[in-house]
């Protein structure tokens, strides 16, 4: 995608300390935030920030607009909630007629439940990704959207998700059997740790040789192919990574809110994560984080406005596309002439 932010992408700059300084500022703000506002809102924002970062890995660095990321976020949250609360898995298989293969598991500790949710998201990412990368651009977006909507209907009908009610009262448990997550400060530190883990992993991915190939595909896929790169394979790996990290965010959200529900799989959620990334800045490392905090703050503090929040979100969408396509962080970086 050549028009995301050509100004930011081109040009080698002398080594700058902008990113480490920005990271330290972000970390300081995140450590202070729970003292200033409700910790639960900050944790919600952190989950969505990780989700938006995972989404941005695709749109910002490979140029692929996935309109179905709610699938990985929402299903991971269902799987994580189910593993943490019930444990037992029942898989259908065909032996003349449909049978259930039941794996009797006890309710899992939070770290394994989160891992399970992330793994399922990665598997779904592999399946959906290998279908979607057969088409490009707008088609890619429509296919990811349609597949996500299909899985929304599965979530609506599958017995373990409890339909409209969702999975409620998910136990938070003890992380690694030691840290009691029912203590809010312990929970905050755990969520912050998971967010930082995902954030730094994404930073590492886009600054690796693999990430450089991804950016080359974004700039000019035909040229990358002619250089001998199997671009489909790179795109698929990026898709799976993005889906898995979105799943990590969704699993964490299930533990934090002790709830997995249909809103997280609905396509409106896919739109919301796009909005967060767009507001913060496509293709910037800090953009999705800033965007997630802005949107979550808006939703929480404007909640009295009820339905008008959707209208305001729509207006922000239109304004971002027409007026400041670089987003908050992108505009700031352009103003300061640094790369963020």
Task: Give the binding-site size for other proteins (rule: CB under 8 A).
Answer: 45
Place of tokens 């990026």: 238
- Residue 175 backbone phi and psi in degrees, to 5: -70, 125
DSSP 3-state assignment of 141? helix
Q: Give the binding range for other proteins (CB under 8 A) out of 80-88, 132-140, 201-209, 326-334.
A: 132-140
Residue 32 · residue 216 · CB < 8 Å:
no
Pick out residues in 239-268 that bind other proteins (CB under 8 A). Answer: 267
Q: Which of 27, 29, 138, 227 binds other proteins (CB under 8 A)?
A: 138
Closest to other proteins by CB, 26 vs 145, is: 145
- Residue 176 backbone phi and psi in degrees, to 5: 55, 25
Instruction: Give CA–CA dist 219/9, Å, rounded.
Output: 9
Q: Which of 25, 38, 135, 230 binds other proteins (CB under 8 A)?
A: 135
Q: Does 214 bind other proteins (CB under 8 A)?
A: no
CA torsion through residues 195, 198, 204, 207, sign: negative
Place of tokens 């809110």: 257
Q: Does 154 bind other proteins (CB under 8 A)?
A: yes
Instruction: Give CA–CA dist 205/11, Å, rounded.
Output: 20
Q: Which of 91, 322, 335, 337 binds other proteins (CB under 8 A)?
A: 322
Q: Which of 194, 205, 278, 329 binds other proteins (CB under 8 A)?
A: 278
Q: Which two structure tokens, joined as six digits, stand for 318?
A: 């239109």
Site string for other proteins, 283-312 (x = CB under 8 A): -----------------------xxxxxx-
Q: Which of 70, 313, 332, 340 binds other proteins (CB under 8 A)?
A: 313
- Please report how many Cα atoms fall inside a 13 Å half-sphere around the Cα of residue 284, on the Cβ side: 33
Q: Does 142 bind other proteins (CB under 8 A)?
A: yes
Q: Give the binding range for other proteins (CB under 8 A) out of 129-137, 175-183, 289-297, 326-334.
A: 129-137
Q: Does 146 bind other proteins (CB under 8 A)?
A: yes
Instruction: Give CA–CA dist 291/177, Å, rounded.
Output: 34
Instruction: Give CA–CA dist 240/64, Å, rounded.
Output: 13
Beta strands 97-103 and 89-95, pairing class: antiparallel
Closest Cα partner for 121 from 176, 187, 51, 169?
51
Q: Does 90 bind other proteins (CB under 8 A)?
A: no
Q: Give the binding range for other proteins (CB under 8 A) out of 81-89, 140-148, 163-171, 236-244.
A: 140-148
Closest to other proteins by CB, 187 vs 328, is: 328
Which chain residues interact with other proteins by CB under 8 A? 1-4, 65, 67, 131, 134-139, 141-143, 145-147, 149-150, 153-154, 156-157, 267, 271, 274, 278, 306-311, 313-318, 320-322, 325
């Amino acid at each position: 995608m050549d028009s995301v932010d050509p100004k930011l992408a081109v040009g080698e700059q002398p080594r700058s300390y902008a990113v480490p300084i920005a990271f330290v500022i972000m970390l300081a703000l995140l450590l202070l935030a729970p003292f200033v506002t409700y910790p639960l809102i900050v944790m919600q924002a952190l989950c969505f920030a990780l989700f938006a970062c995972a989404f941005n890995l695709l749109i910002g660095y490979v140029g692929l607009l996935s309109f179905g990321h709610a699938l990985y976020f929402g299903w991971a949250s269902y799987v994580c909630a189910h593993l943490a609360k019930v444990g037992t898995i029942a898989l259908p298989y065909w032996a003349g007629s449909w049978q259930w293969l039941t794996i009797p598991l006890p309710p899992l500790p939070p770290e394994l439940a989160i891992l399970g949710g992330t793994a399922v998201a990665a598997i779904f990412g592999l399946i959906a990704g290998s279908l979607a990368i057969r088409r490009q651009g707008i088609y890619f977006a429509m296919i990811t959207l349609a597949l996500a909507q299909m899985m929304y209907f599965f979530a609506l009908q599958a017995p373990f998700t409890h339909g409209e009610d969702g999975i409620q009262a998910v136990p938070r448990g003890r992380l690694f059997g030691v840290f009691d997550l029912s203590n809010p400060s312990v929970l905050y530190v755990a969520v912050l740790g998971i967010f930082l883990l995902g954030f730094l992993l994404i930073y590492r991915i886009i600054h690796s040789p693999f990430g450089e190939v991804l950016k080359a595909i974004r700039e000019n896929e035909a040229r990358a192919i002619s250089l001998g790169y199997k671009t489909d394979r790179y795109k698929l790996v990026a898709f799976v990574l993005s889906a898995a990290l979105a799943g990590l965010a969704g699993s964490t959200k299930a533990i934090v809110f002790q709830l997995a529900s249909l809103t997280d799989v609905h396509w409106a959620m896919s739109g919301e994560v796009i909005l967060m990334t767009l507001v913060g800045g496509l293709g910037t490392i800090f953009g999705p984080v800033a965007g997630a905090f802005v949107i979550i703050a808006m939703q929480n503090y404007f909640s009295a406005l009820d339905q008008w929040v959707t209208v305001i979100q729509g207006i922000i969408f239109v304004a971002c596309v027409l007026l400041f396509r670089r987003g908050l962080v992108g505009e700031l970086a352009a103003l300061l002439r640094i790369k963020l």
